Structure 1
Amino acid sequence: MTPTKPSRGLFLVDIDGTVALRRPGPRERAPYDWHRVGEDLPNAPVITVVQALAAAGHGIIYVTGRSDACRASTRAWLAEHVAVPGEALLMRKDGDRRRDTTVKSELYKRHVRPNEQVTAVLEDRATVVAMWRGLGLTVLQVADGDF
């Protein structure tokens, strides 16, 4: 899936820990419990930023470590809670157990870098933030994400 050209800058947006938060408590979804991603809570401050960027004409590409096994439920969650469809939803292949840094770097190099110049990335996880910065991208880190 090749992203379309946005009218202004392009922002890469992570999902888990960035626009979506796992519901806390005894029934909290495990990180790889893909069939429960629809239960995640919206991270309102970050969603407000994504909506403002899109309203200003910036392109949005979601780059997530989620498996494409939950593509439909992820799209439904984004439609309900973010209401910014984005140019693309880039996800790991079902069964791919490699680190998020490896998967996201490959998704970026294959689908985004050849076609687009990225303005910034919205991300929570420190290791992934370091990877994006190592690729020369500006990152707006939305949480500590030290795991």
Structure 2
Amino acid sequence: MWIVDIDGTLALRGDRRPYDWNRVGEDTPNPPVVAVVQALLLAGHPVAFVSGRKEQCRRQTEMWLATHVTSLDDTEVWMRRDGDNRPDTIVKREIYTRHFAHRPVAGVIDDRASVTAMWRSLGLTVLQVAEGNY
């Protein structure tokens, strides 16, 4: 299993404000990361998209993934509950504990330094695609 972040990793938001969930469908694909994810899937590695995005934009997010990355038939998408404003490090760690701690995880692809540090603290291999010091 590979865990892949969306915002700032797979999708680049351009002029969209970080919490403007109504515009996530306008994000631009990050070609090198999309290519890596597609190669992982083609090689038979399961992929789970784990995002700090809120559930309210699930439909747009899944449409974006299906258009720019892959059909969602063989993937998982885990997102933050609506109304949950806790830091990504807490939200993603909880998602990991609930859904992945009992499964083998080959690695994580993410951008934010605080989140990659959290993944590493769990003993996971991380491919950090950007500085992500925010």
Relative to the length of structure 2, the TM-score reads: 0.97
Q: Does 1:17 align with 2:16?
A: no
State the partner residue of 2:63: 76
Structure 2 counterparts to residues 46-57 of structure 1, below 5 A: 46-57=33-44
Return the offset for 1:111.
Answer: 1.1
State the partner residue of 2:88: 100
Are 1:60 and 1:88, in contact at CA under 8 Å, matched by a contact in 2?
Answer: yes
Relative to the length of structure 1, the TM-score reads: 0.88
Give secondary structure in 1 for the equivalent of 2:130: coil
State the partner residue of 1:91: 79
Structure 2 counterparts to residues 1-147 of structure 1, below 5 A: 10-23=1-14, 28-85=15-72, 86-114=74-102, 116-147=103-134
What's the C-alpha RMSD, in Å, of the aligned pairs?
0.8
Question: Which 4+ residue blocks in structure 1 deviate beyond 4 angstroms?
Answer: none
Letter in 2 for 1:77: W
Output one character per residue of 1:62-97: Cα deviation in whole Å (capped at 9) or x when no partner. Answer: 000000100000000000011252431010000100
Gaps of 5+ in 1: 1-9
Gaps of 5+ in 2: none
Letter in 2 for 1:22: R
**Percent of counterpart pairs with the same letter?**
57
